[in-house]
Structure 1
Amino acid sequence: MKAAKLAFGLICLAILASNIATMSRWSEARGVYDDICYLRQAHLFQRFGAGGLDTNAVRDDDRYFEGKLKDIAFAEWKDPIRWPCHNPMPGGKVVLQYPPGTGFLLALFPQGHQVVPLYIAASLILCGLALSGIAMARSLPSVLGAGVFGALAVYLMINPAKASYSVAPTMALCAVAGFLTALWLARGKRSVLLIALIGLLLGASVNFRLPNALLAAGYFLFLGIPFLWTRSLATFVQGLAFGAGVLVGMAPTLAAQAINAGSALSTTYGSADLVAPAFDLAVFGQYLRDMQIVLIVLAIGATLSLLWSREGHVQQAAFVVAGNLAVNLGFFLSHPVFTPYYVVPIAMLSLWTLSFARLLQPAEAREAASVRREPASLGALPR
């Protein structure tokens, strides 16, 4: 088993090294609108600090964004109304549509060398958790499972994570939140501080992509339904701590919306981006032909498998994931717009949670499960 752990650990490190070598050759001027818009947010943070939350087009007085538009040969670079990723607000301002989190992380690195360090940092977090999972495995099947999943998770930081700068930090947060969720459920006495931290991380993920708000849905169902049934004070406190964590985590986005759109609950997205759910067979077909369907099948299969577990915390992790998958897949698969990364966050959060839930299974529970699966010996057969 030690040889298997070493082999999978080396595989994960080899994929990480290959990813870093590939990432080091990436260009920050690949002609994608989203890229330069995230970089504009980063530039505002570097110029104005917290004042960078205000993304009004008039603040481009140093012509930074105009220069980026010229670099990609955008014809209407002079007219802010025509700028990509920007929308006019009722007050007359033209502002960035994206939440501020991705730009904030990019701003931590020097201008011109921001994207590669962000992706490398996120990849290191994922690889660290993958190696931890391999080290925690206590049987050959669990080593194989942790090793294959860890290698897949690290590889995904190249494709599809490259499709949007917001995906890389989302992937890292989902991995950490998945581990903490399994840890929270594995403890006999569930920590209020730990569930608050999980809520904080999931709330913070909203600062990268607004649809990440759906990642908290399964937790609210898991905590809310038992409270409605039992009216337990402990369950209420857990739910309150989680909700408070989510709210604090997404505070930067609420502040940015208040500054740019006039209200914390008003979106900076234009009406063209607010697409109502409507099932579209063509969009569903795109998911079936995309890498995302593999992740969806893996997440659903692992959830169904663990729902039948007799180990309490493993089964409860599956309940959290099941609720989360139902809400998120129900939304995205009925959303008449397709991208190569829409369901990646929920799939990865689910798989990290289930993987660590199984790995954190107490030794005595593993032994009991092993005994239940073993056939009776000849000596024990009835005569």
Structure 2
Amino acid sequence: MKIAKLAFGLICLAILASNIVTMSRWSEARGVYDDICYLRQAHLFQRLGVGGLNTNVALDYDHYFEGKLKEIAFAEWSDQMRWPCHNPMPNGKIVMQYPPGTGFLLALFPEGHQVVPLYVAASLIVCGLALSGIAMARTLPSVVVAGLFGALTVYLMINPAKASYSVAPTMALCAVTGFLTALWLSRDKRSVLLIALIGLLLGASVNFRLPNTLLAAGYFLFLGIPFLWTRSLATFVQGLGFGAGVIVGMMPTLIAQAINAGSPLATTYGSVDVVAPAFDLVVLGHYLRDMQFVLIVLAIGSTAWLLRVGEGSVRQVALVVAGNLAVNLVFFLSHPIFTSYYIVPIAMLSLWSVSFAWLMQQAAPLGREPASLEASSR
């Protein structure tokens, strides 16, 4: 079994090394509008500090974004009303539509060399957790499953994570949150600080992509429904800690929306981007032919399997994941727009949570009973 662990560990490291070599050749001017918009946010943070939360086009007095538009041969670079991923607000500002988290992380690295370090850092986090899963495995089948899953997660940092700069940090946060979710539910006495940390990370993920708000849905259902049923103080405190963590994590986006759109709850997206739910067979067909379909099948299959055979804390992890999957799939599959990464965050959060729950159950001391919700509420 040690040989199998070593072999899969080396496979994950080999994929990581290959990814880093590939990433080192990436250009920051590949002609994608989203890319230069995230880089503009990073430039604002580097130039203005916290003032970079204000993305008003009037702050482009150094002509940074105009230069980026010229690099990708954008014909209407001089017309700010036509700038990509910027929208006019009721307050008269023309602001960037994206939340500030991705730009903030890019700003941590030197201008001109920002994207590759961000992806390498996120890949190292994902690979580290993949190796941890392999190390935790206690049987040969579990080593094989953990090894294959680990190799897949590292590979995904190239495809589809390259599709948007916001996906790489989201993938890393999903991996960490999945581990912490399994850890939180596997303990005999559940820590309020741990669930608050999970909430903080999920809230922070909203700073990369606004739809990441839905990643917290399953946790709210898991904590809220038992509270309504039992009115337990312990369950209330857990829910309060989680909710507070989510709000604190989202605070940069709420502040940015207040500055740019006039209210913390006002969106900076244009009306063309805010579409009503509608099932579209063409969009559903795109998902069926995409890698996302494979990930969702794996997430649903592994969750259903744990619901069937899992006990105690493992089943409770599966319940959290099942609620999360249901809410997110209803939203995205009824969203009449397709991209190659929309469903990836919920799929990866689900798979990481289920994987670590299964591995932690194997690693539990012999004779120890898994934690139960009833016991944690006493």
Kindly tell me: are residues 365 and 321 of structure 1, through their superposed partners in 2, closer, same or farther at Cα, counting changes over 3 Å?
Answer: farther
Higher mean C-alpha deviation, range 261-270 or range 357-366? 357-366
**Does the CA-based 8 Å contact 1:314-1:357 persist in structure 2?**
yes
Q: What is the rounded CA distance, in whole Å, between the counterparts of 1:176 and 1:287 in structure 2?
A: 26
Q: What is the rounded CA distance, in whole Å, between the counterparts of 2:64 and 2:105 in structure 1?
A: 18
Determine if the alignment matches structure 1 residue 341 to structure 2 residue 329. no
Q: Which residue of structure 1 lines up, in the alignment, with residue 355 of structure 2?
A: 355
Q: What is the rounded CA distance, in whole Å, between the counterparts of 1:72 and 1:367 in structure 2?
A: 59
Q: Which residue of structure 2 lines up, in the alignment, with residue 181 of structure 1?
A: 181
Q: What is the rounded CA distance, in whole Å, between the counterparts of 2:368 and 2:346 in structure 1?
A: 28
Aligned amino acid, residue 216 of structure 2: A
1:367 Cα deviation after fit: 11
1:308 Cα deviation after fit: 1.6
Q: Which residue of structure 1 lines up, in the alignment, with residue 321 of structure 2?
A: 321
Q: Which residue of structure 1 lines up, in the alignment, with residue 366 of structure 2?
A: 364
Determine if the alignment matches structure 1 residue 147 to structure 2 residue 144. no
1:265 Cα deviation after fit: 0.4
Q: Which residue of structure 1 lines up, in the alignment, with residue 98 of structure 2?
A: 98
Aligned amino acid, residue 271 of structure 1: S
Q: What is the rounded CA distance, in whole Å, between the counterparts of 2:150 and 2:314 in structure 1?
A: 19
Q: How does 1:114-263 map to 2 (within 5 A)?
A: 114-263=114-263
Q: What is the rounded CA distance, in whole Å, between the counterparts of 1:367 and 1:148 in structure 2?
A: 29
When the two structures are superposed, what TM-score results if normalisation uses the length of structure 1?
0.95
Instruction: Report the 3-state secondary structure (helix = DSSP H, G, I; strand = E; otherwise coil) of the residue aligned with 1:364.
Output: coil
1:91 Cα deviation after fit: 1.2
Q: What's the CA shift string for 1:183-206, capped at 9, x where partnerless?
A: 000000000000000000000000
Q: Which residue of structure 1 lines up, in the alignment, with residue 89 of structure 2?
A: 89
Q: What is the rounded CA distance, in whole Å, between the counterparts of 1:81 and 1:310 in structure 2?
A: 55
1:29 Cα deviation after fit: 0.2
Determine if the alignment matches structure 1 residue 290 to structure 2 residue 290. yes
Kindly tell me: are residues 52 and 310 of structure 1, through their superposed partners in 2, closer, same or farther at Cα, counting changes over 3 Å?
Answer: closer
1:366 Cα deviation after fit: 9.4
Equivalent pairs: percent with the same residue? Answer: 83
Q: What's the CA shift string for 1:239-280, capped at 9, x where partnerless?
A: 000000000000000000000000000000000000111000
**Does the CA-based 8 Å contact 1:311-1:365 persist in structure 2?**
no
Superposition RMSD in Å: 1.1
Aligned amino acid, residue 242 of structure 1: F
1:365 Cα deviation after fit: 6.0
Instruction: Report the 3-state secondary structure (helix = DSSP H, G, I; strand = E; otherwise coil) of the residue aligned with 2:243.
Output: helix
Q: What is the rounded CA distance, in whole Å, between the counterparts of 1:91 and 1:133 in structure 2?
A: 50
Unaligned segments of structure 1, at least 5 residues? 369-383
Aligned amino acid, residue 327 of structure 1: V
Kindly tell me: are residues 366 and 303 of structure 1, through their superposed partners in 2, closer, same or farther at Cα, counting changes over 3 Å?
Answer: farther
How many residues are aligned here? 368
Higher mean C-alpha deviation, range 346-355 or range 302-311? 302-311
Q: Which residue of structure 2 lines up, in the alignment, with residue 79 of structure 1?
A: 79
1:310 Cα deviation after fit: 4.3
Instruction: Report the 3-state secondary structure (helix = DSSP H, G, I; strand = E; otherwise coil) of the residue aligned with 1:346.
Output: helix
Q: What's the CA shift string for 1:17-74, capped at 9, x where partnerless?
A: 0000000000000000000000000000000000000000000000000000001111
* Pair member with larger Rg: 1
Q: What is the rounded CA distance, in whole Å, between the counterparts of 1:248 and 1:158 in structure 2?
A: 30
Q: What is the rounded CA distance, in whole Å, between the counterparts of 1:236 and 1:80 in structure 2?
A: 49
Aligned amino acid, residue 197 of structure 2: L
Kindly tell me: are residues 310 and 209 of structure 1, through their superposed partners in 2, closer, same or farther at Cα, counting changes over 3 Å?
Answer: closer
Q: Which residue of structure 2 lines up, in the alignment, with residue 44 of structure 1?
A: 44
Aligned amino acid, residue 364 of structure 1: L
Kindly tell me: are residues 56 and 122 of structure 1, through their superposed partners in 2, closer, same or farther at Cα, counting changes over 3 Å?
Answer: same
Determine if the alignment matches structure 1 residue 29 to structure 2 residue 15. no
